[in-house]
Amino acid sequence: MKYLILVLFSINSLFAYEFYAKLEPINSYTIKSSVSGKIIYVNEEIEGKKANNSKVVEIDSYVDRIDLKQSKVKLEAISEMLNIEENNYARMLKVSSKSGFEKDAQKLKAINYKTTKADMEVKIANLKDNIKNKVLKEKDNYIYNIAVKKGDYVNPGTLLYEAKDLSKGKLEIFVPIDDIENIENKTIFLDGKKSDIKIDKIYKVADSKHISSYKVEIMVPSPKVFSRLVKIEFK
């Protein structure tokens, strides 16, 4: 038994600084709807390709755009009425025959219009935000999966599509805590080839699954192939 333990220890020591990890995109995004509505456009051609300021999904905003137009008209009218009531109040303050009750009543009218104006401005801002959020575009991410079809009705939280940032690759390994100091300044070899990349991040809190290890991230610039197994050595 002692001999077996000794052999296992020797093997572990031999491969202490050799790891394998899957090369993944630096970031993956799950795009969910923040609004409700019917899907009126899906760019099926962009799925599985890299976007170029491309529209991916559009949700119907017809009613929102009408509401926005009419809300702007209402805001103009409310602003005019507020101006009139404020001018009336200013003039009333100069009239000594007007009672304090009448002056307060006029001031209250102006305050009510000011409140109504503020509420309308908030509504217009929300409508603009809703309309903006109903057109989903991607600058240059890879469109991995589109989860909706034209004609679908979505609610807030519904998955629309997934996208990935392929500008860099990320390798994630778990290094025994006792070995961290030994690898920090070593040269990194990928699939047997010397590289000039460095460790990007070390999470110096033991991982919840790998309880005796720290998670280590290594960034790989402009990889050509993702989702492949990479041999990582520290020498």
The backbone torsions φ and ψ at residue 91, rounded to the nearest 5 degrees and listed phi first, read -70, -40
pLDDT at position 222 is 87
User: Which DSSP state fits 178?
Assistant: G
pLDDT at position 5 is 37
26 pLDDT band, cuts 50/70/90, is very high
Say which amino acid occupies 73. V
Q: 65-89, pLDDT tens digit by residue? A: 999 999 999 999 999 999 999 999 9
pLDDT at position 133 is 94
pLDDT at position 206 is 80
172 pLDDT band, cuts 50/70/90, is very high
Residues with Cβ within 8 Å of residue 17, at least 6 apart in sequence: 179, 182, 183, 186, 233, 234, 235
In 3D space, the residue among 1, 27, 18, 67 whose CA is nearest the CA of residue 168 turns out to be 27
- Count of positions (residues) in the chain: 235
